[in-house]
């Protein structure tokens, strides 16, 4: 299996009473009351240092993503971040996992095809091309995209990007949302026919089908831990079977918050307040913004209204404390042995081949993050790495960075 | 209580079969509902006492065909679509009563082809925008708690309790999906150029507005009135954004009086 380090680049120093004083961490928080541009520059540079340290420590990939108008994680341009990271990790066997530029928010979408191709060239073919739909806050509220058009825009942009990467001849694109008379991409990606595509999602059945039908890797970005994801993930694997796909575990990515310390007791001392900061402040968003009318397709809307599991989990976050987050496995936190055991359990139960770990959580200071990174890759990752390798190849990983399967190694 | 029947028509290259609620007899009237979906209520009952009322469900909001909305790309499509619905119902020129989003559509229909709309009743329409009085985005208001404050004069009264009092997942699905479908034509700001077309309206026009409308404040009544030649404004006392629900008898009487009047 492959383990990548994810980073949100959040505000690390929100006031203690943030969630009481402000209605949301997304869309509306006032920058000048809450942040200082020089300090924000420090956050960005810490983020670089942490991801680059993870790459040196043995992380198979490093991940950035796109969000807007918020203190939860503010990399409005993941490709600016990815470009620095591609250059800074030159010579390392580390994938640049862009999770990524949100398709419906970029016009024309060929911009993403170009920038991803640039990243693939700069990194020497180490790009993983994440293609997110985007949250309703980012895409509908901040970027003004009509909610009910978001998925259709996404699908058209996806098709355009893949065609721009793979077409040998210039072509005209007569789409509903984009019309371009002569598409002829410069540069082209090193990886042929195109870099691996990952589709991040939060459990919509329609996205399961989309990923499976296009033979992409589906990445479950959940903050509610692996136990609450079990049912959704079972559905994903059944969709894979239904659409005639194999059960290669690398078809599934999963994001998990992880904190490692010397002992379980020390882990609580190290991480408790940062985990609570993340869930209480970092996810402080009016629940209805998550379900802006039209953002979900009809079936997903009906499912989530009839079975409001995620909505309930979301609204009960503020009542939970660190011990609850650990008990419910929202976070995997403890000594190396504890974290190893729980992650092995996660990987086996969900059948995950592309694990993403969030090693900087909420308000964690730089030094503690560096400790977490070092401990995780020294004490935890080695015990997980060979999972699935004897049987399955990660076809959703840059070819130049793939491990040999046991069969190939002996051939 | 009037007998209300469901009638399906086939329009838009046979891709959409909207349901139209029909009741009453007499001269025809079309009612276009607001963003939250069509609910046949006392106001429509009263209207049907003297008229044959046709109340189409906006594309995508007819049960069983949520994807119909994908065939209507924009406001221009929607306007032409409604002329086809009128054709299918045999309505050459018809009075339209519209509420909120439905009133905006009614105004667009009357402005685009004045020959199709004989009289116009706009109840708290959206469609114009004032920088000093921005309209709250109703699509991101919590239905259970905050929505009544914007919709109703008395957010704690019996109407609020009846509309929002008990959790109703199926009702929520209908309302949210209806907002998503209608939102296709107004997101993120309900100003899609009506101000450039509104002067074309020739139909005699009545503007009805709840005095305490907190969603689309009554200051917008003058915005519409000043742009529609010969229009008249009537403010409804003790009413928010849903005067047809809050004062069905009063609003129905005003509409009847307007229809009966010489213009």
Which chain B residues touch A152 with a CB distance below 8 Å? 70
In sequence order, the β-bridge partners of residue B32 are B98
Contacts of A140 in chain B (CB under 8 A): 187-188
pLDDT score of A198 = 98
* Interface touch A146/B187, C-beta < 8 Å: yes
For residue B147, give the chain A residue with the closest CA.
A288
Contact A293 B180 (CB under 8 A): yes
Out of A288, A298, A305, the one facing B140 most closely (by C-beta) is A288
Residue A410 has pLDDT above 80, yes or no: no
What pLDDT band is residue A304 in, cutting at 50, 70 and 90? confident
Give the pLDDT band of residue A276 (cuts 50, 70, 90).
very high
* Partner-chain residue, chosen from A140, A176, A291, that has the shortest CB–CB distance to B73: A176
Phi and psi angles of residue A14, each rounded to the nearest 5 degrees, phi first = -70, 150
Under an 8 A CB cutoff, do B139 and A293 touch? yes
- For residues A146-157, give the mean pLDDT: 97
DSSP 3-state assignment of A142?
helix
For residue B36, the chain A residue with the least C-alpha distance is A293
Q: Are strands A171-174 and A179-183 parallel, antiparallel or unpaired?
A: antiparallel
Kindly state the average pLDDT of the residues A134-153. Answer: 97
Query: Between chains, do B169 and A301 touch, taking CB under 8 Å as contact?
Result: no
Q: Do A147 and B187 touch (CB under 8 A)?
A: yes
The predicted structure's pLDDT at residue A411? 59
Please judge whether B180 and A147 are an interchain contact, meaning their C-beta atoms are less than 8 angstroms apart: yes
Q: Is the pLDDT of residue A246 over 60?
A: yes
The mean pLDDT of chain A is: 96
- Which residues make beta-bridge pairs with A70? A26
pLDDT of residue A405: 65
* pLDDT of chain B, 263 residues: tens digit per residue: 679 999 999 999 999 999 999 999 999 999 999 999 999 999 999 999 999 999 999 999 999 999 999 999 999 999 999 999 999 999 999 999 999 999 999 999 999 999 999 999 999 999 999 999 999 999 998 776 789 999 999 999 999 999 888 888 999 999 999 999 999 999 999 999 999 999 999 999 999 999 999 999 999 999 999 999 999 999 999 999 999 999 999 999 999 999 998 65
**Which residues 6+ apart lie within 8 Å of A411 measured at CB?**
none
CA atoms within 13 A on the CB side of B91: 22
Q: Residues A283-305, buried b or exposed e (16+ Cβ, 10 A)?
A: bbbbebbbbbbbbbbbebbbbbb
How far is the CA of A267 from the CAs of A5, A300, A320, A332, in angstroms?
Answer: 19, 38, 18, 10
Q: Does B188 lie at the interface with A, CB-CB under 8 angstroms?
A: yes
Q: Which residues of B touch A294 (CB under 8 A)?
A: 139, 177, 179-181, 183-184, 187
pLDDT of A42 strictly over 70? yes
pLDDT of res. A204: 86
How far, in Å, are A47, A127, A347 from residue A99 at the CA level? 15, 11, 20
Question: With 90 as the cut, is the pLDDT of residue A203 above it?
Answer: no
Query: pTM (2 decimals)?
Result: 0.95
Does B140 contact A152 at a Cβ distance shorter than 8 Å? no
| Residue A409: Cβ within 10 Å count | 10
- By C-alpha distance, which of A253, A388, A381 is closest to A403? A388
ipTM of the complex: 0.94
B177: nearest CB among A289, A292, A298? A298
What's the average model confidence in pLDDT over A373-395? 96
A215: left (phi over 0), alpha (psi -120 to 50) or beta: left
């Amino acid at each position: 299996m492959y383990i990548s380090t994810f980073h949100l680049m959040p505000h690390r120093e929100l006031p203690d009473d943030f969630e009481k004083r402000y209605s949301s961490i997304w869309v509306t928080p006032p920058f000048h009351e809450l942040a200082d541009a020089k300090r924000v520059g420090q956050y960005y540079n810490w983020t670089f240092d942490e991801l680059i340290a993870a790459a040196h420590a043995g992380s198979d990939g490093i991940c950035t993503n796109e969000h807007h108008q918020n203190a939860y994680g503010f990399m409005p341009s993941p490709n600016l971040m990815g470009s620095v990271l591609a250059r800074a990790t030159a010579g390392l066997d580390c994938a640049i996992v862009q999770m990524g530029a949100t398709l419906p928010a970029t016009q024309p979408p060929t911009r993403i095809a170009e920038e991803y191709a640039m990243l693939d060239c700069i990194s020497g073919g180490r790009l993983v091309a994440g293609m997110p739909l985007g949250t309703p806050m980012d895409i509908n509220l901040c970027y003004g995209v009509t909610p009910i058009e978001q998925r259709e825009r996404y699908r058209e942009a996806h098709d355009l990007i893949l065609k721009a990467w793979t077409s040998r001849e210039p072509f005209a694109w007569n789409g509903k949302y984009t019309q371009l008379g002569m598409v002829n991409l410069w540069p082209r990606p090193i990886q042929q026919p195109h870099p691996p595509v990952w589709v991040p999602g939060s459990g919509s059945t329609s996205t399961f089908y989309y990923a499976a039908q296009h033979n992409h890797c589906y990445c479950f970005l959940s903050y509610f831990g692996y136990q609450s994801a079990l049912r959704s993930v079972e559905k994903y694997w059944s969709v894979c079977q239904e659409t005639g796909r194999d059960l290669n575990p690398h078809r599934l990515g999963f994001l998990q918050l992880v904190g490692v310390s010397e002992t379980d007791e020390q882990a609580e001392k190290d991480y408790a307040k940062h985990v609570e900061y993340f869930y209480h402040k970092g996810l402080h968003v009016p629940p209805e913004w998550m379900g802006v009318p039209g953002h979900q397709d009809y079936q997903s809307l009906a499912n989530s209204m009839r079975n409001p599991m995620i909505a309930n989990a979301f609204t009960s976050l503020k009542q939970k404390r660190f011990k609850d987050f650990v008990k419910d496995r929202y976070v995997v936190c403890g000594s190396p042995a504890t974290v190893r055991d729980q992650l092995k359990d996660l990987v086996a139960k969900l059948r995950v081949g592309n694990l993403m770990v969030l090693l900087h959580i909420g308000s964690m200071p730089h030094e503690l993050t560096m400790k977490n990174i070092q401990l995780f890759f020294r004490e935890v990752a080695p015990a997980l790495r060979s999972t699935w390798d004897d049987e399955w190849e990660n076809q959703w990983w840059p070819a130049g960075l793939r491990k040999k399967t046991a069969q190939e190694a002996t051939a | 209580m009037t007998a209300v029947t469901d009638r399906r028509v086939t329009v838009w290259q046979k891709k959409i079969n909207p349901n139209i609620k029909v009741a009453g007899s007499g001269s025809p009237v079309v009612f276009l509902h607001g963003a939250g979906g069509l609910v046949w209520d006392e106001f429509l009952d009263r209207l049907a006492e003297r008229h044959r009322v046709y109340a189409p469900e906006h594309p995508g909001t007819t049960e069983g065909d949520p994807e119909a909305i994908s065939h209507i790309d924009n406001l221009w499509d929607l306007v032409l679509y409604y002329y086809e619905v009128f054709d299918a119902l045999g309505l050459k020129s018809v009075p339209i009563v519209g509420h909120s989003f439905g009133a905006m559509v009614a105004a667009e229909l009357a402005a685009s082809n004045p020959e199709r709309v004989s009289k116009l009743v706009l109840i708290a329409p959206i469609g114009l925008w004032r920088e000093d009085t921005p309209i709250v985005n109703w699509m991101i208001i919590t239905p259970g708690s905050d929505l009544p404050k914007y919709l109703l004069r008395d957010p704690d009264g019996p109407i609020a309790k009846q509309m929002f009092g008990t959790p109703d997942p199926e009702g929520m699905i209908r309302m949210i999906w209806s907002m998503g479908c209608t939102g296709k034509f107004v997101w993120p700001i309900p100003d899609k150029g009506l101000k450039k077309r509104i002067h074309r309206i020739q139909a005699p026009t009545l503007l009805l507005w709840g005095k305490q409308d907190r969603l689309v404040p009554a200051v917008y009544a003058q915005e519409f009135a000043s742009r529609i030649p010969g229009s008249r404004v009537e403010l409804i006392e003790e009413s928010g954004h849903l005067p047809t629900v809050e004062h069905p008898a009063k609003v129905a009487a005003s509409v009847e009086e307007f229809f009966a009047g010489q213009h």
